[in-house]
Amino acid sequence: MELCAQQIAKWYHRRSDGANRFFAVKEMSFSACSGTLTVLTGRSGSGKTTLLHMLGTLLRPDQGKVLLDGRDLYSMDDRELSRFRNSRYGIIPQGYTAVRSLTVLENILLPVKMYGRGKDVLSGPDPAKQEAQRLLLRFGMADLSDEYPDRLSGGEQRRLAVARALAGKPPVILADEPTGDLDDENTACVMEELRKAADEGAIVVVVTHENDALSYADYSWRMNAGYLAAEN
């Protein structure tokens, strides 16, 4: 499986009359294959998150195509794309996000349950549930599975987001600052799990400020003012 961006670009207009176009991502191409972990680094505002969102079907590029196994993702309509995203992607957003009316375990299993996959996930011996419980144990949150997100610290919410992206074992995992605000021990845990996912065949793309992540990467790229440059 290959995730491929072909000559994509994203720009914004800073004035309503269309003048003063600002390029968040300048025309570039990118690809990542199954079984690899790619790290994107760069300064704030360099376009890392914008690129990740375009790869994750969350932000339509103004130019170019994003392909997964040769399929043009943005040619799908919203309904098809939503379902596709659910089945193929594990997305870890930058902030602390969770559905507040669901418990930690329910939040982790939400993507799996959304389209009726694993209907009895919460009651039966389901692989996704077992994986969710393993991840919670791995992240030191086993005793928090029945808590609600409002009761979690920032770091715990971040790990919850990582667990949610990994539990369904999607073929593509996109992580935006997955270790932000985490201590060294938890950073290592999270990066090891992302590495494990890649080793099991997923395409993993991580956007980060932290150089520690580079040691887990197969490939690393650096973004600078919308341009992408290979580091390794």
Partner 1 sequence: MFIRMIRGALVRQRGKMFLIAFTIALGASLATAMLNVMLDVGDKVNQELKTYGANITVKPNSSTLLSSLYDVEDEGEQIETAYLNEEDVSKLKTIFWAYNIVDFAPFMKMAVTLEDGNEAEAVGTWFNHHLDLTTGESLDAGVVSLRSWWEVTDGSWIDEQNDPVNTIMVGRMLAVRQGWNAGQTVTLTGPRGSEEVTIAGIYDAGGDEDEQIYAPLDLVQKLNGLDGKVESIEVSAITTPDNDLAKRAAQNPAALSAADYETWYCTAYVSAICYQIQEAIPDAVASAVRQVAESEGSILDKTQLLMILITILSLIGAALGISNLVTASVMERAQEFGLMKAIGAKDYSITGLVMIEILITALVGGVAGYFMGFGFAQLIGHSVFGSAIEMKVMVIPIVVVLIALVTAAGSLPAIRMILRLRPAEVLHGSKT
- The residues binding partner 1 (CB under 8 A) are 49-50, 53, 56, 58-59, 78-79, 82-87, 89, 91, 93-102, 106, 110-111, 113-115, 122, 149, 154, 157, 164
Q: Which of 1/102 has CB closer to partner 1? A: 102
- Output the smallest distance, CB 52 to partner 1, in A: 9
How far apart (Å, rounded) are the C-alpha atoms in residues 117 and 51?
29
- Output the smallest distance, CB 89 to partner 1, in A: 8
**Counting beta carbons within 10 angstroms of the beta carbon of residue 32, is it exposed (0 to 12), middle (13 to 18) or buried (19 or more)?**
buried
Q: Which of 171/216 has CB closer to partner 1? A: 171
Task: Transcribe 58-95 into DSSP letters.
Answer: SS--SEEEEEETTEEGGGS-HHHHHHHHHHHEEEE-SS
Q: Which tokens is 201 given?
A: 């065949």
Q: Which of 22/115 has CB closer to partner 1? A: 115
Beta strand pairing status for 2-13 and 63-68?
antiparallel
- Output the smallest distance, CB 171 to partner 1, in A: 14
Q: Which of 204/216 has CB closer to partner 1? A: 204
